[in-house]
């Protein structure tokens, strides 16, 4: 099916995407490939905000599961997202894309603080904005950070790049008969616990009518296809009527 074309989008990437085929950290070749696709989208006229997770370096919930204080572990995870944001900024600027990193945890030696009006001005000037450090508080994931920034920036949609090509009624890596949705409602995602994003992020998108487009970012060239309303993806949105 042909999906609607959006203008201002928030691209949400998991930190694991930046690992490439490695088991940990940042694979520079993979970052460069993804940056190239984002640069092409920017050149095509899309206004882009970007949020990247930190799971390739440190995941707060995993640390808490091993006995760390949850708040402390989450702050460490936020710092990991800043590292990923700086790596992506470097790759984008090597391609000539003017990029600004804004962090919810202030660290003025390396990036700007999150200031909504300044971020809007960056987009108006044709710059790409990367939001880092989630919402700046523990107990919230980068999914929630992405939903919050998308609402603040009045984005038309969130594009979530993952390792699967959409939303399924079961885990396609475990259940061979799992069926992919072309479209699915926010309420179905929440009631069936479909793991698109965490519940608070899904609810925030639902309440602000921000569709979530889930697609496979690991497939080269897929970002351009999905942004054009083509390719394989699932759109999560409010039910009509």
Q: Does the residue 228 lie in any domain? A: yes
How many domains is the chain partitioned into structurally?
Answer: 1
- Give the pLDDT confidence score for residue 36 in this predicted structure: 97
Q: Are 160 and 170 in contact (CB under 8 A)?
A: no
Q: Does the residue 37 lie in any domain? A: yes
Q: Are 145 and 10 in contact (CB under 8 A)?
A: no
Q: Does the residue 219 lie in any domain? A: yes
Per residue in 40-82, pLDDT (tens digit) is 999 999 999 999 999 999 988 788 888 899 999 999 999 999 9
Q: Are strands 167-168 and 183-185 parallel, antiparallel or unpaired?
A: unpaired
Per residue in 3-52, pLDDT (tens digit) is 567 999 999 999 999 998 888 999 999 999 999 999 999 999 999 999 99
- Give the pLDDT confidence score for residue 50 in this predicted structure: 98
Q: Does the residue 187 lie in any domain? A: yes
pTM above 0.85, yes or no: yes
Q: Does the residue 2 lie in any domain? A: no
State CA 117 to chain mean position distance: 21
Q: Does the residue 82 lie in any domain? A: yes
Q: Does the residue 3 lie in any domain? A: no
Rounded percentage of the chain residues whose pLDDT exceeds 70? 98
Q: Does the residue 50 lie in any domain? A: yes
Rg (CA), the chain: 17
* Residue 39 phi, psi dihedral angles, 5° rounding: -60, -40
In the chain, DSSP finds a helix count (H) and a strand count (E) of 8, 11
Q: Which domain holds residue 45?
A: 8-237
CATH number at 118 reads 3.40.1160.10
């Amino acid at each position: 099916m042909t999906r609607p074309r959006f203008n201002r989008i928030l691209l949400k990437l998991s930190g694991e995407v930046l690992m490439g085929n490695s088991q940990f950290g940042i694979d520079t070749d993979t970052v460069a490939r993804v940056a190239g696709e984002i640069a092409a989208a920017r050149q095509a006229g899309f206004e882009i905000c970007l949020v990247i997770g930190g799971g390739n370096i440190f995941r707060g919930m995993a640390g808490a599961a091993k006995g760390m204080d949850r708040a402390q572990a989450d702050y460490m995870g936020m710092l990991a997202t800043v590292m990923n944001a700086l790596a992506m900024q470097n790759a984008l600027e090597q391609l000539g894309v003017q990029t600004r990193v804004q962090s919810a945890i202030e660290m003025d030696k390396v990036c700007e603080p999150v200031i909504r009006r300044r971020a809007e001005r960056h987009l108006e000037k044709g710059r790409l904005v990367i939001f880092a450090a989630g919402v700046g508080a523990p107990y919230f994931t980068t999914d929630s950070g992405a939903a919050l920034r998308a609402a603040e920036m009045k984005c038309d949609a969130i594009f979530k790049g993952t390792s699967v090509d959409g939303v399924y009624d079961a885990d396609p890596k475990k259940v061979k008969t799992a069926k992919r949705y072309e479209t699915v409602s926010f309420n179905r995602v929440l009631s069936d616990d479909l793991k698109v994003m965490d519940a608070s992020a899904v609810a925030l998108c639902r309440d602000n009518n921000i569709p979530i487009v889930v697609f496979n970012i690991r497939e080269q060239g897929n970002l351009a296809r999905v942004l054009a309303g083509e390719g394989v993806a699932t759109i999560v949105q409010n039910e009509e009527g």
